[in-house]
Amino acid sequence: MSSLGDFIAGLPKAELHVHHVGSASPRIVSELAARHPGTVPADLDELREFFEFRDFAHFIEVYLAVVDLVRTPDDVRMLTYEVAREMATSQSLRYAELTCTPYTSVRPDRDDLGMPIEAYTEALEDARVAAERDFGLVLRWIYDIPGESGIPAADATLTYALDHAPEALVGFGLGGPEIGVPRPQFQPHFDAARAAGLHAVPHAGETTGPETVWDAIRHLGAVRIGHGTSSAADPELLAHLAAEQITLEVCPSSNIATRAIATLSDHPLVEFVRAGVPVTINSDDPPMFGTTLNAEYAIAADLLSLSTEGVADLARGAVRASFAPPDVQSRILGEIDAYVSEAYDAG
Look up the pTM and report it. 0.95
Average pLDDT over residues 281-299: 96
- Per-residue model confidence (pLDDT) at position 2: 63
Report which of 31, 38, 48, 91 is spatially closest to residue 68, judged by C-alpha positions.
38
Partner residues linked to 203 by β-bridges:
226
Helices (H), 263-307: 269-274, 293-304
Task: Please tell me the total count of domains within the chain.
Answer: 1
Map residue 196 onto helix, strand or coil.
Answer: coil
Go through the chain and tell me how many residues it has. 347
Residue 271 annotated as catalytic: no
Tens of pLDDT, residue by residue over 22-32, are: 999 999 999 99
Average pLDDT over residues 259-263: 92
CATH number for position 320: 3.20.20.140
Exactly one of 206, 249, 296, 335 is catalytic; which is it? Answer: 206
Q: What is the DSSP string of 218-272?
A: HTT--SEEEE-GGGGG-HHHHHHHHHHTPEEEE-HHHHHHTTSSSSGGG-THHHH
Tens of pLDDT, residue by residue over 90-109, are: 999 999 999 999 999 998 76
DSSP label at 112?
T
Range of the domain at 252: 4-346
Residue 1's pLDDT band (boundaries 50, 70, 90)?
very low
Angle among Cα 18, 171, 336 to the nearest 5 degrees reads: 55
